[in-house]
């Protein structure tokens, strides 16, 4: 029987892959919206990691859910600008000294950064977020003008 031990790829600081990772981020920014196709899962390409995200909308709001298990609330940053929501932060490995031996290492630690462009205009002042059981839920209420338009449509 054997145990396969492997390291999270981001352990090496000098790596040229870091530059590749920032290139990827740049591409994500350019290709906003369809970035899901690029990252797909929750494992980032070489640099950091990439949490899974879901986006749902109903008539009142857009909801963005991100799976961020094992973080501290204060280590999550939420930014909204020009119709683009950015989630970023850092998952820190617990500070316990590694006196023991690790022989399965599948969790990712370190920084993450994800952006999503919203399908509709939202009211930036009323954005709220909760973090529970490792899931971040951001609620972005739709802008009044969008809602008014929706009502018009239903009437006609």
Partner 1 sequence: MNTRANTLERVEEAAPTRMPAWELPPTNIREEKDAYLLELEMPGVSKTGIEVTVEANELTIVGRRSDPEIQGELVYQESRRGDYRRTFELDPSINTGKIEAKMDQGVLKLTLPKAEQVKPHRIQVTD
Residue 102 near partner 1 by CB under 8 A: yes
For partner 1, which is the closer residue by CB, 19 or 72? 72
- Taking contact as CB under 8 A, which single stretch among the options 11-19, 23-31, 53-61, 78-86 is the one that binds partner 1? 53-61
Among 74, 82, 101, 125, binds partner 1 (CB under 8 A): 101
Separation in Å, CA 94 to CA 34, 73, 109, 142: 34, 15, 10, 38
Taking every pair of C-alpha atoms in the chain, what is the biggest distance, in angstroms? 69
Euclidean distance between CA atoms 156 and 154, whole angstroms = 6
3-state secondary structure of 129: strand
- Structure-token pair, residue 49: 């990691």
Q: What mask, x for binding partner 1 by CB under 8 A, covers residues 15 to 34?
A: --------------------
- Footprint of partner 1 (CB under 8 A): 1-3, 36, 39-42, 52-58, 62-63, 65, 67-72, 98-108, 119, 131-135, 137
């Amino acid at each position: 029987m054997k145990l396969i031990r492997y390291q999270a790829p981001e352990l090496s600081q000098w790596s040229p892959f870091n530059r590749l990772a920032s290139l990827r981020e740049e591409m994500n920014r350019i290709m906003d919206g369809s970035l899901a196709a690029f990252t797909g899962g929750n494992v980032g390409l070489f640099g950091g990691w990439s949490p899974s995200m879901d986006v749902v909308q109903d008539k009142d709001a857009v909801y963005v859910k991100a799976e961020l298990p094992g973080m501290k609330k204060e280590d999550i940053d939420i930014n909204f600008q020009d119709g683009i929501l950015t989630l970023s932060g850092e998952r820190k490995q617990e500070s316990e000294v590694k006196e023991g031996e690790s022989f399965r290492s599948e969790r990712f630690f370190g920084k993450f950064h994800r952006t999503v462009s919203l399908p509709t205009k939202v009211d930036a002042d009323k954005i709220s977020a909760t973090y529970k059981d490792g899931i971040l839920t951001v609620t972005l209420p739709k802008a009044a003008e969008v809602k008014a338009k929706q009502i018009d449509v239903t009437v006609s």
